[in-house]
Structure formats: structure tokens, C-alpha cells
């Protein structure tokens, strides 16, 4: 078995020689699209020849991309992924991939097809309004396709993963959205407006701890240790296809202990006294029957309240940003803020809240100046005066 590369138009093809057809006596050659780069086609030739020599012949299944993704691949992911992640896979495939390339035959899928898909999604990928998806969203689509096609190669449906040669958007070139946060007076105004609401304690907790929406709603009574002024974040209430589910927190670092201030402890005690008694593992914030509050309802209550106030319009998640920003501006170490938020590392915290750094650097510069001006310690003698004298008798 041998092969070579041929360029036809703007495409390169891996051409595999398969010997003589016994029926016609003619030479048989199989042409496999390799993409717009010769190097990709050369790697494909090498892979196809190796597979043939190993006895792994090219598949002949005529399944379409849509049939493979929705009927074969996606159902297997339900038991391997978190419910929210599975729902994200399903929505991305059904909304953005299948309508555009679902009718293509899986074996004929080319890197160019994926490149065209990404360009289209960046330009006009939104379904709710005109405009394109963000580079991050399109890259998420790419990663889902890459995993799906990798599994197709592993199971013998494809000879190669064309997503390896596709050009997904680079996140480094994308501008990170500006973080929105309130100043302390604006936060106080919001909390004052929520004082009489039955979920005031939940919004207070979100503002004073930086906990995520689902973490606040997933908090159980036995996760609280008010005597020691702390709580444990262990689970979250999430919305999957608008259905409420209780799930583990996002990552290992998100599973954490958060210390509480005296006002928050008092607020939680008051809330627990007012609500209907529940079991030790019952939710701290719940519907009258003890069932979870829908996360979207929690956000809608926040949005309606903010709309009535003379404060900058932010989202519920921005309460988390407000908590972090106020702490960093007050000089709390980044590592402490990172642990409090459940971030993977302080470096990630610094990346997200880099807008706070200029002010912190100005304070650092002023502090350094004060250190020099206030230091009355006499200057040390020059270095020459500190050198040991030469031993006698060695002068030249």
C-alpha cells in the first residue's frame, strides 16, 4: 500500500493506491480530502497507509454528520457528563452545528467545512437577535466537535479527525468583557431596597460572600456553622433546559469553606427563625414546600429590583464581581479573595479583576515613596570602604 498528495484547485488530497481491480484490470485509487494545507494531506497519507498496513480498512458507512452527532454520539454522553454540560453540548449541536453541516456525509467532512461553520457562527450565529457568537462560544462548538470526531475515529467511523486541521477562533485575540461592579454605596442602596423581601437573606449572602447564584440556592441547613461563623459550599441548584436540578459544585476548588461576618450570621439566623422548619439537609432558601427555587426566578427578582433603582444596571452574577472588587480595592490579598470565590488559582482571579490593578499599583507607588521619605536610617558607607584591607607585604 502506498499513497501520495495531489493538489486540485485550492484543496490537497491524499491519494491512496489500492492495487488492480480484478474485474476491470484497472488501477484503483482512493481520493480523500486533506484540506487546504499540504502538510495536513501528507499526515493523512501517512495515517491511511499505516491503517491499511495494519489491516484497518477505511469505513464505508454513509451516515451523515447530524445522524452521528444526535443519534449515536450525544446519547452516550449523557452518562459521562454533568447534566448542565450535557445540555450545553445538546444545545450547541442542535442550534449551531446540525442546521449548517448536519446533512453532510460524515466521511466526506473536511476541515474547510468546519472553517466555514466557524466563520458563519462568528458572523451570524445568534438565534435570539442579529449578530454573531463570541469567539469563546464558537471555540466551545469546536471543542465539542473535536471530541465527537475523535470518538468517531476511535470507533472506526472515520480515518482521521478533521477538526485537528480546522482553524478555531483563538481566545487570546478576543477582548475579555469588562467586569461590571457596584461601588459600596450602590450595593447598600440595593440591599436596603430588598430588606422587606422574603429572599433578602439570600441576596445579602450573595453580596457578602461572592457565592454563585446556584451555590446560594443550593445551601443546606447542615452546611451552615453559624456558631463558628462559616459555611461550606458543597452543591448548587442549576437550570438544565429550564428544569431545576441539584448538582455538585463546578470544580474541586469551588467546594470550599467561606467565613462569615457578624451581620451575615445575624441575617441568616433571622431568616432561619422565620422560615418553616425543615430537616437538617433541607435547603436554607426554598419554596414553601421545601423544593428548590428556580435560578432564573432568583435572577428575575434581582433584575426587577435593580430596574427601579438609580444604580448602574448589572446582572445578579455581578454581585460576585462587586464582592471581589471591593475586597481587592480594600487591600485584601488576592489569594484570600481567590479562595473565597472558589477560583482555580489566584492567577485566574488576577486575570478576571485586572481592572482593579491600576488603582492598587498607584497605592503601591505612593506607599513606596512614603517608605523612603519616612526612613531615617543613615546611609551605608560606599562599597569601597567596606572592602577588607590588603594583607601587608603584598604591594607591588
On the question of a common fold for 65-173 and 184-355, the answer reads no
Q: What separation in angstroms does the CA of 95 have from each of 39, 87, 127, 133? A: 33, 12, 8, 12
Please provide the DSSP assignment of 360-383 as one string. Answer: HHHHHHHHHHHHHHH--PPPPPPH
- From the list 286, 211, 205, 195, the residue with the least C-alpha distance to 244 is 286
Q: What is the pLDDT of residue 197?
A: 96
Buried b (16+ CB within 10 A) or exposed e, 93-104: bebbbbebbbee
Q: Is the dihedral of CA 85, 245, 255, 323 positive or negative?
A: positive
Q: What is the pLDDT of residue 376?
A: 63
**CB atoms inside a 10 Å sphere around CB 15:** 19
User: How open is the CA angle 342-347-348, to the nearest 5 degrees?
Assistant: 55
Query: What pLDDT shows up at residue 228?
Result: 97
pLDDT of residue 281: 72
Dihedral angle over CA of 196, 202, 207, 213, nearest 10: -140
pLDDT in tens, the chain (396 residues): 578 888 888 888 888 777 776 667 777 787 777 778 888 888 877 877 776 665 555 555 578 999 999 999 999 998 888 888 899 999 999 999 999 999 999 988 999 999 999 999 999 988 878 889 989 899 999 999 999 999 998 888 888 899 998 998 887 655 566 789 999 999 999 999 999 999 999 999 999 999 999 999 999 999 999 999 999 999 999 988 788 988 887 666 789 999 999 999 999 999 999 876 566 678 999 998 889 999 999 999 999 999 999 999 999 999 999 999 999 988 899 999 999 999 989 898 988 888 776 666 677 777 788 888 876 666 666 655 555 555 555 444
The pLDDT assigned to 276 comes to 65
Contact (Cβ atoms closer than 8 angstroms) between residue 34 and residue 23: no
Of residues 89, 100, 88, the one with CA closest to residue 125: 100
Answer whether 12's CB lies under 8 Å from 38's CB.
yes
Find out whether 32 and 10 touch, Cβ atoms under 8 Å: no
Q: Which of 186, 177, 184 has its CA nearest to residue 325?
A: 184
Q: Specify whether domain 184-355 bears CATH 3.40.50.300.
A: no
Domain locations in the chain? Answer: 2-53, 65-173, 184-355
Report pLDDT for 396: 41
What pLDDT is stored for residue 39 in this prediction? Answer: 85
65-173 has CATH 2.60.40.1180 classification = no
Q: What's the rounded Cα separation, in Å, for the pair 239 and 355? A: 31
Amino acid at each position: 500500500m502506498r499513497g501520495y498528495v495531489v493538489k486540485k484547485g485550492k484543496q490537497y488530497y491524499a491519494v491512496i493506491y489500492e492495487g488492480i481491480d480484478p474485474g476491470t484490470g484497472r488501477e484503483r485509487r482512493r481520493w480523500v480530502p486533506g484540506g487546504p494545507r499540504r502538510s495536513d494531506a501528507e499526515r493523512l497519507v501517512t495515517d491511511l497507509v499505516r491503517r491499511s498496513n495494519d489491516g484497518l480498512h477505511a469505513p464505508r458507512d454513509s451516515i451523515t454528520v447530524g445522524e452521528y452527532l444526535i443519534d449515536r454520539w450525544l446519547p452516550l454522553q449523557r452518562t459521562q457528563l454533568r447534566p448542565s454540560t450535557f445540555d450545553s453540548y445538546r444545545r450547541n449541536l442542535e442550534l449551531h452545528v446540525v442546521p449548517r453541516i448536519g446533512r453532510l456525509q460524515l466521511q466526506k467532512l473536511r476541515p474547510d467545512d468546519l472553517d466555514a461553520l466557524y466563520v458563519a457562527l462568528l458572523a451570524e450565529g445568534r438565534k435570539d437577535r442579529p449578530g454573531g457568537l463570541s469567539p469563546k462560544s464558537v471555540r466551545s462548538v469546536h471543542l465539542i466537535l473535536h471530541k465527537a470526531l475523535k470518538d468517531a475515529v476511535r470507533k472506526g467511523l472515520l480515518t482521521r479527525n478533521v477538526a485537528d486541521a480546522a482553524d478555531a477562533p483563538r481566545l487570546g485575540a478576543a477582548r475579555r468583557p469588562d467586569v461590571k461592579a457596584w461601588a459600596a454605596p450602590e450595593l447598600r442602596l440595593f440591599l436596603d431596597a430588598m430588606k422587606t423581601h422574603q429572599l433578602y437573606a439570600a441576596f445579602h449572602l450573595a453580596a457578602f460572600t461572592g457565592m454563585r447564584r446556584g451555590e446560594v440556592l443550593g445551601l443546606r441547613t447542615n452546611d451552615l456553622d453559624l456558631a463558628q461563623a462559616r459555611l461550606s459550599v458543597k452543591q448548587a441548584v442549576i437550570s438544565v433546559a429550564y428544569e431545576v436540578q441539584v448538582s455538585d459544585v463546578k470544580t474541586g476548588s469551588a467546594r470550599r469553606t467561606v467565613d462569615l461576618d457578624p451581620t451575615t450570621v445575624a441575617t441568616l439566623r433571622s431568616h432561619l427563625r422565620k422560615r418553616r422548619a425543615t430537616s437538617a439537609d433541607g435547603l436554607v432558601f426554598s419554596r414553601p414546600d421545601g423544593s428548590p427555587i428556580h435560578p432564573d426566578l432568583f435572577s428575575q427578582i434581582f433584575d426587577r429590583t435593580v430596574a427601579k433603582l438609580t444604580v448602574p444596571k448589572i446582572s445578579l452574577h455581578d454581585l460576585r464581581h462587586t464582592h471581589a472588587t471591593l475586597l481587592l480595592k480594600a487591600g485584601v490579598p488576592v489569594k484570600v479573595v481567590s479562595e473565597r470565590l472558589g477560583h482555580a488559582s489566584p492567577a485566574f482571579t488576577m486575570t478576571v479583576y485586572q481592572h482593579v490593578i491600576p488603582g492598587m499599583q498607584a497605592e503601591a507607588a505612593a506607599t513606596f515613596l512614603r517608605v523612603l521619605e519616612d526612613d531615617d536610617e543613615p546611609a551605608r558607607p560606599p562599597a569601597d570602604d567596606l572592602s577588607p584591607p590588603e594583607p601587608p607585604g603584598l604591594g607591588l
